A and B are shown apart, each in its own frame.
Chain A
Amino acid sequence: MAEKSIEEIEKELIENFSLFDNWDEKYEYLIELGQALPAMDPALKTDERLVHGCQSSVWFDIHCIDGKINFSVDSDSLIVRGLVSILYQLLNNQPAELVLTADMHIFEDLGLWHHISSQRSNGLNAVMAHLKQAAADCIGK
């Protein structure tokens, strides 16, 4: 089991974001999260692992290890790195069943969803879909 449950991590993130009253500060925090996300092995940044957005690119590498979802993810955009780092904190090393059923409402709860309009073009939705698919495949094995 991961040390903390998805709900616990989610609660912490929401608390952290609630400390900021304006968007400049929220973005600064998002950028910090992006900078803190572990760098992805450059060798893994292949076209097969790339989600092509017209705004930014996202690479992801997902594995199923002992029923848990392990992944690394990266983007050329620091803000997108911040967003995917939230996914990483929540879902990396979590049991596939929990990844599959995670409600993923956190971006709405944080108010990021409405603010960052082009989720489609920044590749975040695609990464979430790939994580769900990998979790389903992992359970099926």
Chain B
Amino acid sequence: MSKNILSAREDFPILKQKINDRPLVYLDNAATTQKPQSVIDAISHYYETTNANIHRGNHTLAIQATNAYEDVRKKVAAYINAPSPSQIIFTRGTTESINLVAYSFGEAFVKPGDEILVSELEHHSNYVPWQLMCQRKGANFRVIPFDEDGELDLEAFKELLNKKTKLVAVNQVSNSLGTVNPIDEIVKIAHAVNVPVLVDGAQAIQHLNHDVQASDADFYAFSGHKMYAPMGIGVLYAKHEWLMQMPPFQSGGEMIDIVTPNKVTFNVLPYKFEAGTPNVADVIGLGAALDYLKQFDPAELQAYEDDLLNYGLGLLSEIPGMKIYGNPKHRSAIIPFNVEDIQHYDVGILLDSKGVAVRTGQHCTQPIMDALHISGTVRASLGIYNNREDLDALARGIQSVIKMIGR
């Protein structure tokens, strides 16, 4: 029997505190999620009992730490259905995962005149690394636009794809609009012309299932801290054939095989891409977060979060002067909005004074804001521990902001 979702809130100690004398209503989950006690305990326990540098030590603690670290790699592989743990590379986060591919794939495969195709819905972290790689390689950076509903224009995508296209980079869920992109279809279209696809799963992994073999994505990147795991740990999954052909991203210890003054050869996968002492404690924390999430039924969790999202969208759309951005067929956990004549920054600050934490501004997606001709939005984003009372508090907060600003 799977764990009751309504009991999740009890597992997160930070949510029990008051902010500005009001009970904390945390609706900034797309920025980072809170951590359950079991994740916090796993990190403490690692430092209290197991800490040692991994892989090269031959003492008991080094062996235990290595085993714990490698066990998490297996758990991550199982979680996204990767064919082998050797295709799971630990990074600092989604940003580093994407930078790794932008660098190493670029070095191996991109030549002047080639094209990289990204979507207009991307976070800067799945946009700028490709821009810089294109500048380095003399390649052209092309952008797939989105329509008024906040959906990617797949016809434009098909037209943009051509013989020069070397890679497509797209997110599974937009961090600004919450649009769930049709990843399976995008991969199919790109693969039909032999173009690999990188999927940024940062806003998806905590809400939707992702099976990398089912989607057939070539690269899948995500962060621990948005899925109830610690900050500073991320994952890059990649197909074996790409990892074998790509040169290392960073170099140093751990990633080498033989080093002489004249020659260096590299370690096997995944270690070729994990230079230096890794972030063992946070990998352990990531493992605890996966264990935590696995207690819930994934379909039930998605249905719960979708229901909550629809409840919030309904509640907010009743507020006079409310503008909610995008109307995608499938939206995940994100409500982007503005209130007429009130700056998003003011809404955020005043909501905070009522204990409601949201994010305001451009959300690292300036291309989206430019396309919508706005300076930013307020973004409420959901997590496993949110409930209808949180959204009621948000709606009440917005009403009182409107009253304070005196319209």
A60-81 vs B, CB cutoff 8 Å, 1 = contact: the mask equals 0000000000000000111110
B residues adjacent to A (C-beta < 8 A): 20-21, 342-346, 348-350, 353-354, 360-362, 375-376, 404-406
Q: Decide if B345 touches A24 in the complex (CB within 8 Å).
A: no
Q: Decide if B343 touches A24 in the complex (CB within 8 Å).
A: no
> A105–B291 Cα gap in the complex (Å)?
49
Does more than half of chain B's interface fall in helix, strand or loop, or is it mixed?
Answer: mixed
Q: Known contacts being A27-B353, A55-B345, A122-B345, is A76 close to B375, with CB within 8 Å?
A: yes
Within the complex, the shortest CB–CB distance from A19 to chain B, in Å, comes to 17
Q: Decide if A77 touches B346 in the complex (CB within 8 Å).
A: yes
Q: Decide if B345 touches A80 in the complex (CB within 8 Å).
A: yes
Q: Decide if B349 touches A57 in the complex (CB within 8 Å).
A: no
Q: Decide if B345 touches A56 in the complex (CB within 8 Å).
A: yes
Q: Decide if B404 touches A23 in the complex (CB within 8 Å).
A: no
Q: Decide if A23 touches B345 in the complex (CB within 8 Å).
A: no
CB-based nearest B residue for A76 = B343
Pairs A–B under 8 Å by Cβ, sample size 24: A22-B21, A23-B20, A23-B353, A24-B354, A27-B349, A27-B404, A31-B404, A31-B406, A55-B344, A55-B345, A55-B348, A55-B361, A56-B343, A56-B345, A57-B375, A76-B343, A78-B342, A78-B343, A78-B346, A78-B405, A79-B345, A79-B349, A80-B345, A121-B361
**Number of A-B pairs, beta carbon distance below 8 Å:** 47
A residues adjacent to B (C-beta < 8 A): 22-24, 27-28, 31, 35, 54-57, 76-80, 116, 121-122
Q: Decide if B20 touches A54 in the complex (CB within 8 Å).
A: no
Within the complex, the shortest CB–CB distance from A78 to chain B, in Å, comes to 5
> A31–B400 Cα gap in the complex (Å)?
14
> A57–B369 Cα gap in the complex (Å)?
15
B348 neighbours in A (Cβ, 8 Å): 55
> A22–B376 Cα gap in the complex (Å)?
28
> A23–B21 Cα gap in the complex (Å)?
10
What 5 A-B pairs have minimum CB-CB distances, sorted nearest first? A77-B343, A56-B345, A23-B353, A55-B345, A77-B345
A28 neighbours in B (Cβ, 8 Å): 404
> A111–B21 Cα gap in the complex (Å)?
16
Q: Decide if A27 touches B350 in the complex (CB within 8 Å).
A: yes
A116 neighbours in B (Cβ, 8 Å): 349
